[in-house]
Amino acid sequence: MNTIVSPFLRRGPNARDMMTGMLACLTVATVHFGLRYDAQFPARYALYLVLASLIDIFYVLLKDGRLALPRASTLVTAALLVLSVPARIPWWQIVAGLLVAILFGKRVVDPGALRVNPMLLGRLFMMLVFADSIQTWLAPGAEIDALSSATPLGLQASEGVAYSPLKIWMGDIHGDWEGIYAILPGAPGEVLPLLTLLCGLVLYMLGILDWRSGVMYIAGFALTCVALDMPLGIHLAAGATIFTAVYIVTDPRSMPGSKFGRLAAGVLAGALNAGIRKHGFYPEGVVLAVLFVNLLGPTLDRIAFQGRAYLLRRRAKARSQDSVCVCGMP
């Protein structure tokens, strides 16, 4: 009772509302993927969320010796991870990724000064250890046959052939290319960029997401694409570009908090991502680009803090010099 201190008003969402909003949007994406491409996926998604909760509960039980509800942010991390890897990846590989993301990314790294996106940490682990299966986009229900398969972005990377960006925006990804590659949707989270963008808009309106890093990510990405002479249309639509702008670079804990920091980190992540797509081994490059920017986060925040104080001091100095003649003691 006596701990209530001013202000006595609260505005905007609290932490739990924020996580619930994110989870709701990610679940919408899951349902969409289930309806259009893989009817099994929503059930798998739900199962992985339960597994993630169990990992979280188990961790608290081991560490503090008590049973506690899993943190809502753990579920968001798990949902993001599941949505960013192939839908039919073996379940134990996902569990390994979840273990790394939740135990190392969230529980161990979280309280420290090192701020990295836990989901990306888990995915990085999967990329390194299960390099093969994380790049294999199997046709749902089908085994590998005469045809090889590729996502629109993979096709662009290997053959230099652009799939219609408009179709990708609408999530309409199927068919084959020259009878060699079956064209398949990518990770469940990235197959309908339009829906993702819409969800991002709603989350922004609800005060859950900040626009700065997402918008600047797209800007930095687009500019670098143009500068490096990459086809902009397909790169914006395909791969996880929009998914990253809405869900990954907006992750509050791992990105800088200050406005300047967010703008700078957004541009940097976008530029790096485009650069990795052009010259790197992975056709996508989100994980490496964003993780690198995460490491710069505290530094960017520090620069912003010092910079603001410097501007304030300079203003005070300028004012005290001319206020002598403007105001002046009578």
Partner 1 sequence: MDAGINRCRVAPIVQTGAAVAEGEIVAQGESLAMHASVSGVVERADAEQIVIRRGLAPSTVSALKETSCPQNAADLARIAREMGLVGMGGGMFPASVKLGTGWQIHTLVVNAVECEPGIQIDEALILHDTDTVRSGIDCVTAALAIKRRVLVVKRTAANHIGSFAASCAADVLTMPNRYPAGAEKLIVARLDGRMPPAGLLPVQCGYLVLSVASLWAIGRWQLYREPSILRPLSLVTPSRPTRNLLVPIGTALSHILNTYGIGYNPEAHLLVTGGLMMGARATPKTPILKGTNAIFVQPILRRLIRPEEPCLLCGACFDVCPLNLHPIGMVERIKSGRRSPALATQLDECFLCGACSAVCPAEIPLVQYFRDAKRGLRA
Residues of the shown chain interacting with partner 1 in the complex, contacts defined by CB under 8 A: 1, 3-15, 17-18, 110-111, 115, 207, 210, 212, 252-253, 255-259, 262, 301, 304-306, 308-310, 312-313, 315-316, 319-320, 323, 326-330
| Planar angle of CA 179, 183, 187, nearest 5 degrees | 160
How do 148-150 and 176-177 pair as beta strands? unpaired
Sequence-separated contacts (24+) of 324-330 with Cβ below 8 Å = none
Q: Are 94 and 125 in contact (CB under 8 A)?
A: no
CB of 252 to partner 1, least distance (A): 4
CB of 319 to partner 1, least distance (A): 5
CB of 286 to partner 1, least distance (A): 20
In three-state secondary structure terms, 131 is: coil
**Tokens representing 190?**
């990235």
Distance CA 321, CA 78 (A): 57
Give the bridge partners for 183, in sequence order: 150
Q: Which is nearer to partner 1, 160 or 330 (CB)?
A: 330
CB of 262 to partner 1, least distance (A): 7
Q: Which is nearer to partner 1, 132 or 322 (CB)?
A: 322
136 phi-psi bin (left φ>0, alpha ψ -120 to 50, beta other): beta
Exposure string over 22-34, b if 16+ CB within 10 A, otherwise e? bbebbbbbbebbb
CB of 296 to partner 1, least distance (A): 14
Q: Which is nearer to partner 1, 72 or 95 (CB)?
A: 72
- Number of Cβ within 10 Å of residue 271's Cβ equals 23
Helices and strands counted in the chain (H then E):
13, 3
Q: DSSP letters along 139-183, please?
A: PTT----SSEEE-HHHHHHHH--PPPHHHHHTT----EETTTEEE
Q: Which is nearer to partner 1, 44 or 107 (CB)?
A: 107
Q: Which is nearer to partner 1, 225 or 293 (CB)?
A: 293
Q: Which is nearer to partner 1, 210 or 284 (CB)?
A: 210
User: CA of 209: how far to CAs of 105, 247, 248, 249, 264, in Å?
Assistant: 21, 9, 11, 10, 17
Secondary structure letter of residue 71 according to DSSP = P
In three-state secondary structure terms, 10 is: coil
How do 176-177 and 181-183 pair as beta strands? antiparallel
Q: Which is nearer to partner 1, 10 or 279 (CB)?
A: 10
Q: Which is nearer to partner 1, 2 or 67 (CB)?
A: 2
Q: Which is nearer to partner 1, 140 or 252 (CB)?
A: 252
